[in-house]
Amino acid sequence: MCENVRFNKGEKKNNEELAKKIAALCDVYVMDAFATAHRAEATTYGAVKFAPVACAGPLLMEEVDALTNALTNPKHPLMAIVGGAKVSTKFEVLNALSDKVDCLIVGGGIANTFLKAQGYDVGKSLYEQDWVPEAKKLLVKEKTGGAKILLPSDVVVAKELSDHATAEIKKVDALAQDDAIFDIGPETIKEYVNVISQMKTIVWNGPVGVFENKLFAAGTQELGLAIANSSSFSVAGGGDTIAALDEFGIRDKISYVSTAGGAFLEWLEGKTLPAIEILEQRGRE
């Protein structure tokens, strides 16, 4: 058992000397950390390169198989649900998925930016003005063969985010200047649940509302239950998504729950993960 390897000088920079020292400690090097597979570091890449024998571990193989089934060789119709606060952190994912999936649901602050791109006044809701043009590009892309993008028709708003807030349901074209969107509304939930029931494969990353507050949890909960009760092959990943699955007691009803964060997102973007790449290279030797 080693101390936290990131304390080692040269670990993050994939130092060759350090990688060789680590590789020399073993006869067989098993890379089983998919969550760090997107990092080319001494223990995730270099040691795999120099070890006498290197192979993937069972967890890593399980992750790759599940994500391959979901995105590389999926059954259609294929849906992705991407939530979160900022388009800026998920744009590459959204752009890549729009070429792969049949239907794309965006939620959270991301949806607010898209609503703004459609010309709606989102009040004091969280959105990113600098990313409105990029959201517009994806909406245009939808009309030229990209994924169908579903956006809320009604939302749950409040004047503030607190346990004592007064929640109201409003159409997206009827928000006041001091309204902030914290969840999707019941009509939107009904529409999304209906679409989910028609899917064969579903990839989920990010809640569609502030589910930590019971006033704004219905959207994420109802979509989660719809996925859990569907016959589709479902993959969910990301810390907030897993927290939501646990909160609503549906984690064991999702086909596969990814342990990864950054690696999961980079896989969704279609990027080659360094640790996977070197393992495949060693496998061809």
Output the pLDDT for position 174: 98
- Range 113-121 contact pairs with CB under 8 angstroms and sequence separation of 24 or more: 113/87, 114/87, 114/138, 114/139, 114/149, 114/151, 115/151, 115/152, 115/172, 118/151, 120/172, 120/173, 120/175, 121/175, 121/177
pLDDT under 50: residue ranges of the chain: none
Sheet holding 154-158, edge to edge: 168-171, 154-158, 180-184
pLDDT attached to residue 259:
81
- Each domain of the chain, given as residue ranges in start order, spans 5-56+270-283, 63-254
**Contact call for residues 161 and 183 (beta carbons, < 8 A):** no
pLDDT of residue 18: 97
Model pLDDT, residue 51: 98
How many Å apart are CA 113 and CA 35, to the nearest integer? 29
- Quick one: pLDDT at residue 254? 98
Query: Which SS3 state, helix, strand or coil, does residue 275 take?
Result: helix
- pLDDT per residue as tens digits for the range 196-246: 999 999 999 999 999 999 999 999 999 999 999 999 999 999 999 999 999
Residue 55, both tokens: 């192979």
Pick the CATH number of 63-254 from 3.20.20.140, 3.40.50.1260, 3.30.950.10, 3.30.830.10: 3.40.50.1260
Per DSSP, the three-state class of 181 is: strand
Longest dimension (CA), the chain: 66
- CA–CA gap between residue 86 and residue 144 (Å, rounded): 25
- Give me the pLDDT at residue 260, please: 87
Please count the helices (runs of H) and the strands (runs of E) in the chain: 11, 11
